[in-house]
C-alpha cells in the first residue's frame, strides 16, 4: 500500500478548492481481465482550462505503468514523471488524447478498493469499488468528482472463467475472441465522475424483470449473484421495482438507461454502491429469505436497495463538486430513503428507528474527539468521512428544511434543484439556493447547520399565568465546543409543539403576535433562531403540559424539567406514536436517574405504571408497544454521564427492566408470550412482523425476572421457529441469559448454517452479547474458529464490531483486556484493509469520558496503535484525532 502515514500528504481543505485544470470529455477503457493480473488500456480525451497553465497531472496509485503515448506517439522519458501518486505529463494540449497501459493485481488487493477478487480464486469473481478515490487504483485519471466524462468500456476475458462481463451504461455489443476468450462493450451516455465507474466479471447467475417507466420506456432490471445465492434475490427485485415507482410518483424522477444491473458480493467494505447502471451490494443488503434473514434485515434490504437506486438522481445525475459536499448526495438520499421506508411501512415506527439510530451513532460522534460538521472543513482521508454525521445528521437537516417548506414547496424546490443541476457537480449552496428560489424563502441561515459540529442543547421552560390565561414558553439554545470549533453560533431550530390539557387533550394554539396564526390548530412549528426567545400562547385555561420537538423536528438534545407525571400523561395520551415513544424514552431516562441516584422513585413508578397500563391496552400496535417497552440503550444512557462506568450503566439498565417486568407481572408476561407464540408464522406483513417483535420483547422482559421459564420457552421457540427472526431472538435470549441450553442451540445453529455466510455472521455476533467480562474469552475463541477471517469485512464486523460497539459492558473490562485485544487486531487489520481498520477504531470513541481507570487503559491502547509503524492514512487520522481531538 502506498497510502501509509509516513508518506501522507497535508490535509485537503474546502477553502482550497479550485476548478480542475484539465477535464476529460471522453474515456475509452479496455480491460484484459485476469485474477492475478489485469491490464487496463485507457484513452483520455483531454480539455485544458486556458486560465490554468502547467503540465497535466493525473492521480494513479499502486499500478505498474506499461506504456504511455500522447496523440499517438510514444512519450519520451523526460516528458513524463510518475511518483507514487501522481503522473505528470508535459506537452499536453487542449484536445490531446493520452493513452496509458497499466497492470493491476486484483487477487492481491485485500483493501477491497479499486479492482479486486471476491471469493476464492477458483470460483470467485472480479469487481470494482471506486468511491471515493478507488478509480486511481485502476487507471490514471483526474480522480475527483467534478470531472465528468462519457465512458466506453470494453471488457475482454476467458469465456469459461468469466462468462459474465458487466460494466455501467448500456450494452454496445459482445462477441468471441481467439483462444476461448470473449468481449463485451458498454457505453454510458450520461457523463459521470470516475467514482461511479464499475465493472464485474465472473460466474454469476441472474434474476431478470422487465420494468416500464411512467413515461413508457422499457428497462431491463437484472440482479446478479453467485449460484448458491440467486434464489435469495426475489425480495430485492421487488424492493427495486417499488423504489423506481416511488421515485416517479413522489419526486417525478425516472430511470435513464436501458438496463439496471445489481450485483451481490460477500466481500465489500460498506453496505452498497450506487455505480451508474451497475449497483454493487454487500450481500447482507441484497439477499433475503425467511430461513436466513430477520425482519430487520428484510427492512434493511428494502431501504438500501431504495437508497442506491435513489442515488441515480441524487448523486449521479446531480453529483458533488468535491468530497466536502458529500452530504449533498448522502444526507439527501438517506432522507429520500427514510421517506420511502415510512411510506412502505409505518411512519411512526420508522421515525422511532431513525431517531434511535441518530442518538446511538451520531450524537456520540458529535460529542467526542471525532466530531465534525456535516460539511467538514478538512480531511486527510475522505473514506473516514462516510459517517453518521454526514449521513444521518445530514438527512435530519434535509428533513428540517423540507418541513419548513411543506410537501409541495419541497417538491417544487427539488424539481428546480434537479433540473438546474442535471449533469453538473453541485454544492450545498446550489441545493439550498434552488429550494430557496423555488419558494421565495431565504434558507441560507440553515447553512450554519452544515458548518457547525456538535449537537445543540435546546432548553425549554414554561410559565403559566392564570390571571392572563397565558402560557409563556422560553426556549434557549447552546452548542458545546467541539474539536477545532470552540465558538458556536445560534442556529435556526424549528420546534414543532402542542399543548395538552390535564385530561390529555391537545388544546387549540393561539400564539401572541403571530399574524399568520392558524388559530385553532393544535400543533404548530415555532422557529428559535437566536440564543433565547419567548413564545406566548393565549386563551389557555389551565397550566398545560407542553409536547416539544414533535416528530423530532430538529436534531437537538431537549432539556426540559418535566414532572414525571407530565411525561406519563404524554406517554398515555399523545395520539402520535413517535411522540408517545419519545415521552416514554424521556421518562425511562428519568427512571434510570432515580435508580442511579437512589433518592426518589417518582419517575420510575410513573414509567412502570404507564407502561403496565399500555401493556394491557389491546388497541396499541404490537410493534409500537415493543418499542415503548424498550428503554434507551446503554450507549445513549452513557452519553449523559460525566464519567462513564459501562458496567454500572449496564447494571442500572438491567434493573430498570426488572422493575418494569415486575410491575407488569410474571404471569401477565408469560400469558402474553404464550398467546403470541400460538400465532407464529413466517409472513412478512406488518402485523406478523409486529407480532414477532413484541414476542421477543416480552420474552426478554420475562427473562429478567424468571430466567428458568424464559429459557425453557426460548428453547422451544428456537427448536420450532419457522423464521430466522424467531430463531435468532430465541438464541439471543439464551446467550444473553447465559442459559445452560445456549450451548446446544449454538452447536445446532453452526451446523445448520455452516454454508451460509450471512447466517454465520449472526452466529458470531450473537455470541459477542454474552454478559460481562467473560465475553473476552469467547471473542478469543471465536477468532480462532476456522470460519473466522480478518479478510472479510462482514465477518470482522460480526465479531469485533458487534462486541466492541454492541456490548459496552463486555468490551470495557476494568483490566483493559478488551482494549488490548482490539488494538492488536486493528494493527493486523490495517495491513489488510485500512478502511475497515479505521472504522473499527472508532469503537474507542468516548474513551475520554470513561472513569479514570478505564480511561488510562484505553488511552494506552490507542497510543499503541498510533505508535505502530506504517499505519495507513485512514487509521492514522482516526487515532490521531482520537488522541488529540
Binding site for ligand B3K (CB under 6 A): 131-132, 270, 272-274, 307-308, 311, 330, 383, 386
Q: How far apart are CA 481 and CA 447, in angstroms?
A: 18
Q: Which is nearer to Zn ion, 128 or 436 (CB)?
A: 128
DSSP E strands: which ranges in 86-225?
86-89, 97-104, 114-118, 125-129, 149-158, 164-167, 170-176, 181-192, 199-202, 205-212, 218-225
- CA pair distance 366, 373, nearest whole angstrom: 8
Q: What is the closest distance, in whole angstroms, from the C-beta atom of residue 34 to ligand B3K in the complex?
A: 26
Residue closer to Zn ion by CB (options 333, 732) is: 333
Q: Which is nearer to Zn ion, 320 or 826 (CB)?
A: 320
272: partner contacted, choices ligand B3K, Zn ion, none (Cβ within 5-8 A by kind): ligand B3K
Q: Which is nearer to ligand B3K, 285 or 800 (CB)?
A: 285
Comparison of 334 and 779: residue with beta carbon closer to ligand B3K:
334
Helix, strand, coil shares, percent, the chain, to 5? 45, 20, 35
**CB nearer to Zn ion: pick between 320 and 821:** 320
Residue carrying C-alpha cell 478502511:
835
Binding site partner of 545, from ligand B3K, Zn ion, none, Cβ cut-off 5-8 A by kind? none
CA distances from 251 to 146, 220, 410, 416, 441 (A): 25, 22, 10, 11, 21
- From 28, 99, 308, 330, active-site residue: 308
What span, in angstroms and rounded, lies between the C-alpha atoms of 136 and 830?
20
Contact range with Zn ion by CB under 5 A, out of 19-27, 113-121, 122-130, 325-333: 325-333
- Sheet of 532-537: strand order equals 532-537, 470-478, 457-465, 557-560
- DSSP class of residue 801 equals I
How many residues form the binding site for Zn ion (CB under 5 A)? 2
Give 279-284 contacts, CB < 8 A, sequence gap 24+.
Answer: 279/308, 279/309, 280/127, 280/128, 280/129, 280/198, 280/200, 281/236, 281/305, 281/308, 282/793, 282/794, 283/225, 283/229, 283/757, 283/758, 283/794, 284/758, 284/761, 284/794
Sheet holding 56-59, edge to edge: 56-59, 86-89, 80-82
Q: Which of residues 238-267 bind Zn ion (CB under 5 A)?
A: none
Spatial contact of 281 and 304, defined as CB atoms under 8 Å apart:
yes
Pick from ligand B3K, Zn ion, none: which does 458 bind, CB < 5 to 8 A by kind? none
Q: How far apart are CA 218 and CA 210, in angstroms?
A: 7
Least distance to ligand B3K, CB of residue 824, Å: 25
CA pair distance 413, 431, nearest whole angstrom: 9
CA distance 366 to 374: 10
Strands 38-48 and 80-82: unpaired
Q: Which of 59, 330 has the CB closer to Zn ion?
A: 330
| Spatial distance between the Cα atoms of 736 and 806, rounded to a whole number of angstroms | 12
Q: Based on CB atoms, which residue is closest to ligand B3K, 383 or 767?
A: 383
The interface partner of residue 383, options being Zn ion, ligand B3K, none and the CB cut-off 5 to 8 Å by kind, is: ligand B3K
State the Cα–Cα distance between residues 117 and 268, nearest whole angstrom: 10
Q: How far is the CB of 394 from ligand B3K (least distance, A)?
A: 11
Q: Alpha-carbon distance 601 to 714, whole Å?
A: 32
330 or 830: CB nearest Zn ion: 330
Q: Of 138 and 760, which CB lies nearer to ligand B3K in the complex structure?
A: 138
What is the nearest approach in angstroms of ligand B3K to the Cβ of residue 311? 6
Q: Return d(Cα 108, Cα 70) in angstroms, integer.
A: 30
Question: Considering CB distances under 5 to 8 angstroms, the limit depending on partner class, which of Zn ion, ligand B3K, none binds residue 805?
Answer: none
Instruction: Report helix, strand or coil for 463.
Output: strand
Smallest distance, Å, CB 578 to ligand B3K?
A: 25
Q: Which does 273 bind (CB under 5 to 8 A by kind): ligand B3K, Zn ion, none?
A: ligand B3K
- Least distance in angstroms from the C-beta of 790 to Zn ion: 26
Grid cell locating 27: 474515456
Long-range CB pairs of 725-732, under 8 A, 24+ apart, other chains included: 725/294, 725/295, 725/296, 725/689, 725/692, 725/696, 726/680, 726/692, 726/695, 728/294, 728/762, 728/766, 729/692, 729/695, 729/696, 729/699, 730/699, 731/766, 732/766, 732/769
Distances (CA, A) of 283 to 91, 202, 291, 606: 46, 16, 15, 45
Residue 430 interface partner, choices ligand B3K, Zn ion, none, CB cut-off 5-8 Å depending on type:
none
CB of 214 to ligand B3K, least distance (A): 24
In whole angstroms, how close is the CB of 424 to Zn ion at the nearest point? 19
Q: Cell numbers at residue 834, please?
A: 485500512
| 3-class secondary-structure state, position 53 | coil
Indicate which of ligand B3K, Zn ion, none lies near residue 28 (CB less than 5 to 8 Å, by partner kind).
none
Rounded to a whole number of angstroms, the minimum distance from the CB of residue 272 to ligand B3K is 6
Count CB-CB contacts under 10 A for residue 685. Answer: 9
Q: Which is nearer to ligand B3K, 395 or 439 (CB)?
A: 395
302 binds, among ligand B3K, Zn ion, none (CB under 5 to 8 A by kind): none
Report, in Å, the least distance between residue 201 CB and Zn ion: 25
Contacting Zn ion within 330-359 (CB under 5 A) = 330, 333
* Cα–Cα dist 336/856, whole Å: 43
* Shortest Å distance, C-beta 684 to Zn ion: 25
**Binding at 386: pick from ligand B3K, Zn ion, none (beta carbon under 5-8 Å per type):** ligand B3K
Q: In the stretch 755-774, what mask flags binding to Zn ion with x, by CB under 5 A?
A: --------------------
Q: Which is nearer to Zn ion, 428 or 822 (CB)?
A: 428
Strands 425-426 and 378-379: unpaired
What is the rounded distance in angstroms from the CA atom of residue 591 to the CA atom of residue 578? 20
Cell numbers for 742: 445456549
Full DSSP string of 157-184: EETTT--EEEESSEEEEEEE-GGGEEEE
Q: Is 308 a catalytic residue?
A: yes
Shortest gap between Cβ of 841 and Zn ion (angstroms)? Answer: 22
As annotated, the active-site residues are 308
Q: Which residues bind Zn ion (CB under 5 A)?
A: 330, 333
Amino acid at each position: 500500500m502506498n497510502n501509509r502515514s509516513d508518506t501522507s500528504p497535508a490535509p485537503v481543505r474546502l477553502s482550497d478548492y479550485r476548478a480542475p485544470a484539465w477535464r476529460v470529455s471522453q474515456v475509452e477503457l479496455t480491460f484484459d481481465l485476469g485474477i492475478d493480473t489485469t491490464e487496463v488500456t485507457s484513452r483520455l480525451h483531454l480539455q485544458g482550462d486556458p486560465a490554468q497553465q502547467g503540465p497535466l497531472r493525473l492521480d494513479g496509485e499502486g499500478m505498474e505503468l506499461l506504456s504511455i503515448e500522447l496523440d499517438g506517439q510514444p512519450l519520451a522519458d523526460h516528458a513524463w514523471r510518475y511518483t507514487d501518486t501522481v503522473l505528470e505529463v508535459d506537452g499536453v494540449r487542449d484536445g490531446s488524447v493520452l493513452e496509458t497501459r497499466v497492470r493491476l493485481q486484483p487477487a492481491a488487493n485485500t483493501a477491497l478498493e479499486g479492482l479486486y477478487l471476491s471469493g476464492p480464486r477458483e470460483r470467485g469473481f472480479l469487481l470494482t469499488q471506486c468511491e471515493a478515490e478507488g478509480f486511481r487504483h485502476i487507471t490514471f485519471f483526474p480522480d475527483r468528482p467534478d470531472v465528468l466524462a462519457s465512458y466506453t468500456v470494453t471488457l475482454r476475458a476467458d469465456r469459461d472463467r468469466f462468462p459474465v462481463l458487466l460494466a455501467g451504461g448500456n450494452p454496445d455489443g459482445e462477441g468471441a475472441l481467439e483462444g476461448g476468450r470473449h468481449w463485451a462493450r458498454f457505453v454510458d451516455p450520461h457523463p459521470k465522475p470516475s467514482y461511479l465507474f464499475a465493472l464485474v466479471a465472473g460466474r454469476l447467475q441472474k434474476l431478470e424483470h422487465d420494468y416500464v417507466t411512467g413515461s413508457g420506456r422499457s428497462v431491463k432490471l437484472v440482479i446478479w449473484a453467485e449460484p448458491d445465492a440467486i434464489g435469495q434475490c426475489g425480495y430485492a427485485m421487488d424492493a427495486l421495482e417499488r423504489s423506481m415507482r416511488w421515485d416517479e410518483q413522489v419526486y417525478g424522477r425516472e430511470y435513464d438507461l436501458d438496463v439496471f444491473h445489481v450485483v451481490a458480493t460477500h466481500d465489500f467494505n460498506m453496505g452498497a454502491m450506487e455505480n451508474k447502471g451497475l449497483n454493487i451490494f454487500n450481500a447482507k443488503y441484497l439477499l433475503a429469505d425467511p430461513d436466513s434473514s430477520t425482519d430487520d434485515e428484510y427492512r434493511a434490504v428494502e431501504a438500501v436497495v431504495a437508497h442506491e437506486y435513489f442515488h441515480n438522481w441524487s448523486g449521479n445525475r446531480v453529483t458533488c463538486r468535491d468530497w466536502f459536499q458529500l452530504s449533498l448526495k448522502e444526507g439527501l438520499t438517506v432522507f429520500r430513503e427514510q421517506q420511502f421506508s415510512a411510506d412502505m411501512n409505518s411512519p411512526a415506527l420508522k421515525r422511532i428507528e431513525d431517531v434511535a439510530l441518530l442518538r446511538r451513532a451520531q450524537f456520540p460522534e458529535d460529542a467526542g474527539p471525532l466530531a465534525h460538521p456535516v460539511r467538514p472543513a478538512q480531511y486527510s482521508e475522505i473514506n473516514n468521512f462516510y459517517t453518521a454525521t454526514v449521513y444521518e445528521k445530514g438527512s435530519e437537516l434535509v428533513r428540517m428544511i423540507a418541513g419548513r417548506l411543506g410537501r409541495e414547496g419541497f417538491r417544487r424546490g427539488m424539481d428546480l434543484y434537479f433540473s438546474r443541476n442535471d449533469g453538473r457537480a453541485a454544492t450545498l449552496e446550489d441545493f439550498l439556493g434552488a429550494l430557496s428560489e423555488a419558494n421565495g424563502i431565504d434558507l441560507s441561515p440553515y447553512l450554519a447547520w452544515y458548518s457547525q459540529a456538535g449537537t445543540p442543547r435546546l432548553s425549554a421552560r414554561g410559565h403559566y399565568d392564570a390571571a392572563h390565561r397565558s402560557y409563556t414558553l422560553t426556549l434557549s439554545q447552546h452548542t458545546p465546543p467541539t474539536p477545532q470549533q470552540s465558538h458556536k453560533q445560534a442556529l435556526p431550530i424549528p420546534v414543532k409543539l402542542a399543548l395538552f390539557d390535564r385530561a390529555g387533550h391537545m388544546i387549540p394554539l393561539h400564539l401572541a403576535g403571530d399574524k399568520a396564526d392558524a388559530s385553532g390548530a393544535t400543533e404548530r412549528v415555532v422557529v428559535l433562531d437566536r440564543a433565547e426567545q419567548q413564545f406566548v400562547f393565549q386563551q389557555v385555561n389551565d397550566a398545560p403540559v407542553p409536547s416539544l420537538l414533535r416528530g423530532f423536528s430538529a436534531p437537538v438534545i431537549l432539556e426540559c424539567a418535566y414532572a414525571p407525571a407530565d411525561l406519563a400523561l404524554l406517554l398515555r395520551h399523545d395520539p402520535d406514536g413517535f411522540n408517545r415513544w419519545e415521552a416514554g424514552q424521556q421518562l425511562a431516562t428519568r427512571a434510570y436517574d432515580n435508580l442511579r441516584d437512589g433518592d426518589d422513585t417518582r419517575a420510575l413508578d410513573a414509567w412502570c405504571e404507564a407502561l403496565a397500563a399500555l401493556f394491557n391496552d389491546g388497541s396499541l400496535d404490537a410493534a409500537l408497544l415493543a418499542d415503548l417497552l424498550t428503554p434507551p440503550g446503554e450507549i445513549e444512557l452513557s452519553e449523559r454521564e460525566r464519567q462513564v462506568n459501562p458496567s454500572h450503566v449496564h447494571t442500572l439498565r438491567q434493573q430498570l427492566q426488572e422493575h418494569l417486568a415486575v410491575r407488569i407481572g410474571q404471569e401477565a408476561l408469560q400469558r402474553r408470550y404464550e398467546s403470541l407464540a400460538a400465532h407464529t408464522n413466517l409472513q412478512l406483513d406488518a402485523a406478523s412482523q409486529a407480532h414477532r417483535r413484541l414476542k421477543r420483547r416480552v420474552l426478554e422482559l420475562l427473562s429478567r425476572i424468571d430466567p428458568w421459564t424464559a429459557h425453557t420457552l426460548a428453547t422451544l421457540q428456537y427448536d420450532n421457529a419457522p423464521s430466522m427472526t424467531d430463531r435468532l431472538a430465541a438464541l439471543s435470549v439464551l446467550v444473553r441469559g447465559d442459559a445452560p441450553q445456549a450451548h446446544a442451540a449454538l452447536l445446532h445453529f453452526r451446523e445448520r448454517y455452516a454454508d451460509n455466510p450471512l447466517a454465520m455472521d449472526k452466529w458470531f455476533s450473537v455470541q459477542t452479547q454474552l454478559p460481562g467480562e467473560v465475553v473476552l474469552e469467547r471473542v478469543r475463541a471465536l477468532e480462532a474458529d476456522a470460519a473466522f477471517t480478518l479478510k472479510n469485512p462482514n465477518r470482522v464486523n460480526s465479531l469485533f464490531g458487534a462486541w466492541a460497539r454492541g456490548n459496552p459492558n463486555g468490551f470495557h473490562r476494568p483490566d483493559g483486556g478488551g482494549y488490548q485485544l482490539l488494538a492488536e487486531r486493528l494493527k493486523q487489520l490495517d495491513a489488510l484493509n485500512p478502511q475497515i481498520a479505521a472504522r473499527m477504531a472508532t469503537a474507542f470513541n468516548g474513551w475520554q469520558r470513561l472513569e479514570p481507570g478505564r480511561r488510562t487503559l484505553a488511552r494506552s491502547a490507542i497510543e499503541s496503535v498510533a505508535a505502530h509503524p506504517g499505519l495507513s492514512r485512514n487509521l492514522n487520522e482516526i487515532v490521531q484525532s482520537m488522541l488529540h481531538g
